[in-house]
Amino acid sequence: MSSRSDSNPTQETYVPPKVWKWDAPSGGEFSSINRPIAGATHEKKLPIGEHPLQLYSMGTPNGQKVTILLEELLERGIKEAEYDAWLISILNGDQFGSDFVGINPNSKIPALMDHSDTEKTQRVFESGSILLYLAEKFNQFLPTDIAKRTETLNWLFWQMGSAPYVGGGFGHFFAYAPSKMEYPIDRFTMETKRQLSVLDRHLAESQYMVGDEYTIADMAIWPWYGLLVLGGYLYPGSDEFLNVKEDFPHVIRWAKEIGERPAVKRGFKVNHTWGDLADQLHERHGASDFTTKTQDKIKATESKEEKKEAH
């Protein structure tokens, strides 16, 4: 907990009204797309590529779970896992387009359409559901042994229930809220560190989340907690703030090991639109996109920089 002596004694206490009304933006980086009602805000058709699996997503941790699994399936030689990944910019409100809402009425990425059955297309939404669907469809990364399968699902659902405290709680107040507030930062820091402690204790005795077997549980947890401890990618400065090097060495060991997997490196890049250009692949329609599109983007940027210097 932070020192109370640093508190702002003049900070006003919020008194909630008897009935809350949405009459002003909430503030913060995502205020323009936050709203208290569901449904589409505009008509928008979604593109459909040549592969049966069509992913509509963005390279956030929830989106990366799915692209990592798809790339891991392809790494194992499962050609039927080829996919098109279309960018859904949540900052631009693409998730409120009519076609996307038709796939996911909750307007959250990622969302998947499986056109393998020409008579009946299957929609799949919620990242955990997509992981489970693909793992069962291709019989990969989900143990058939009942005990190991159950343990995999234990940790998959743990992540689904726990990560909102990290993203919507800690991440929001630490990185995105319009002002720094001690109470919510303390509250969600405590819970985030408790969750990391849960992982660290478990990984002290286990190579992966389910013993020595790499599963969809690892793929679900790594984009959130793995990236959180590997240098503050999610929220710059948070790794130091959370003291991860001293407090969670086993999580760091696990995160580094998974981060070195070729499929994880590729999956991390898909639908990613910020940071290092080499880590950005806005759309993915084939394996060659990882080399051609990234290099084209870097060359285009370098050309712009050269033109600026020339002037």
Q: Is the pLDDT of residue 64 over 80?
A: yes
What CATH topology corresponds to 146-262? Glutathione S-transferase Yfyf (Class Pi); Chain A, domain 2 (1.20.1050)
Helix axes 61-75, 127-138, angle to 10 degrees: 10
Q: What is the pLDDT, as a whole number, of residue 308?
A: 54
Q: What is the pLDDT, as a whole number, of residue 5?
A: 44
Within 8 A by CB and 6+ apart from 20, the residues are none
pLDDT band of residue 293 (cuts 50, 70, 90) is confident
Q: Is the pLDDT of residue 61 over 90?
A: yes
Q: If you compute the radius of gyration of the chain from its CA atoms, what whole number of angstroms results?
A: 21
pTM: 0.91
Mean of pLDDT values over 237-262:
97
Mean of pLDDT values over 118-147:
97
Q: What is the pLDDT, as a whole number, of residue 234?
A: 87
**Which residue blocks in the chain are alpha helix, DSSP H?**
61-75, 98-103, 127-138, 146-164, 182-203, 216-221, 227-229, 238-241, 244-247, 249-259, 262-269, 289-310
Element (H, E) at 113: strand 111-114
Q: Is the pLDDT of residue 62 over 80?
A: yes
C-alpha distances in Å from residue 38, one per residue of 19, 96, 191, 254, 271: 20, 9, 29, 38, 24
Residue whose tokens read 């005795």: 205
d(CA 304, CA 145): 55
- Computed over every residue of the chain, the mean pLDDT equals 91
For the chain, the domains span 146-262
The angle at the Cα of 269, spanning 265 to 271, to the nearest 5 degrees, equals: 150
Mean of pLDDT values over 193-211:
98
The angle at the Cα of 175, spanning 104 to 264, to the nearest 5 degrees, equals: 55
C-beta of residue 217 within 8 angstroms of C-beta of residue 72 = no
User: 67-117, pLDDT tens digit by residue?
Assistant: 999 999 999 999 999 999 999 999 999 999 999 999 999 999 999 999 999
C-beta of residue 175 within 8 angstroms of C-beta of residue 233 = no
Q: What is the pLDDT, as a whole number, of residue 34?
A: 82
pLDDT band of residue 3 (cuts 50, 70, 90) is very low
Q: What is the pLDDT, as a whole number, of residue 14?
A: 83
Burial 54-76 (b: 16+ CB within 10 A, else e): bbbbbbbbbbbbbbbbbbbbbee
